[in-house]
A and B are shown apart, each in its own frame.
Chain A
């Protein structure tokens, strides 16, 4: 099973600053990686798929990069609505659908 490890667990950032979130896979997942944003009481929202493709309507301040085992989600200038928990998910290796443990982005 491919284990997804996210770091840091919590990221404290001031509005307007840059946030960099990491996701590491225990074995290569190619580019079959997605990022989601989760807010309390809401369903997860797909942000990035294929490691770097933004979902429809996603602001350009969100970007994804990486391949193989190392991936990064960058939020270039944090807005108030971006404070949330972010999860990565691989869909390359069986069993698919493994999510990482999440990174909580909180206001500094």
Chain B
């Protein structure tokens, strides 16, 4: 059974870099059928797509975050990671990693998120 598990610091100081990792078990991150992505949900707000990655390293980012986001993949460890630079309080959110089945007739690099990690709360505060 597929499982995704986020890990990383729960507290990040303003202007610093948020770094999270998603470990994938019960399935291979190199499966050509899927992208792997990050979504966040600020307190009291709806979800926001951050970006997705394919096992080859191709990335697809939300334009609103693109200048600060890097998503990378480590196929040898079956995991992928998120880096978000220059964080502010507005980046406080529960961060989720998720799997995204590729869809033939959809926007490049995305689809519906069919399996999710449990989420990790990241608070930006000094």
A91 CB-CB contact with B under 8 Å: yes
What 1/0 flags go to A20-34 for Cβ under 8 Å of B? 000000000010101
Given contacts A44-B47, A95-B62, contact A34 B96 (CB under 8 A): no
How many residues from A make CB contacts under 8 Å with B? Answer: 27
B112–A34 touching, CB < 8 Å? yes
A-side contacts of B107, CB under 8 Å: 32, 91-96
The answer to whether B113 and A98 have CB atoms under 8 Å apart is no
Contacts A34-B112, A46-B112, A98-B49: A91 and B106 contacting too (C-beta < 8 A)? yes
Query: How far, in angstroms, from A98 to B96 measured CA to CA in the complex?
Result: 15
Interface SS of chain B: loop
A95, A100, A102: residue with the most chain B Cβ atoms closer than 10 Å: A95
A32 x B103 contact (CB < 8 A): yes
B47 contacts across to A, CB distance below 8 A: 36, 38, 44, 87, 89, 99
Question: Quick check: is B111 within 8 A (CB to CB) of the other chain?
Answer: yes
Answer whether residue A60 sits at the interface, using C-beta atoms and an 8 A cutoff: no
Q: Are A34 and B62 in contact (CB under 8 A)?
A: no
Are B106 and A96 neighbours in the complex by a CB distance under 8 Å? yes
A16 at the interface (CB under 8 A from B): no
Are B106 and A32 in touch, CB under 8 angstroms? yes
Residues on A lying within 8 angstroms of B by beta carbon are: 30, 32, 34, 36, 38, 42-46, 49-50, 55, 87, 89, 91-102
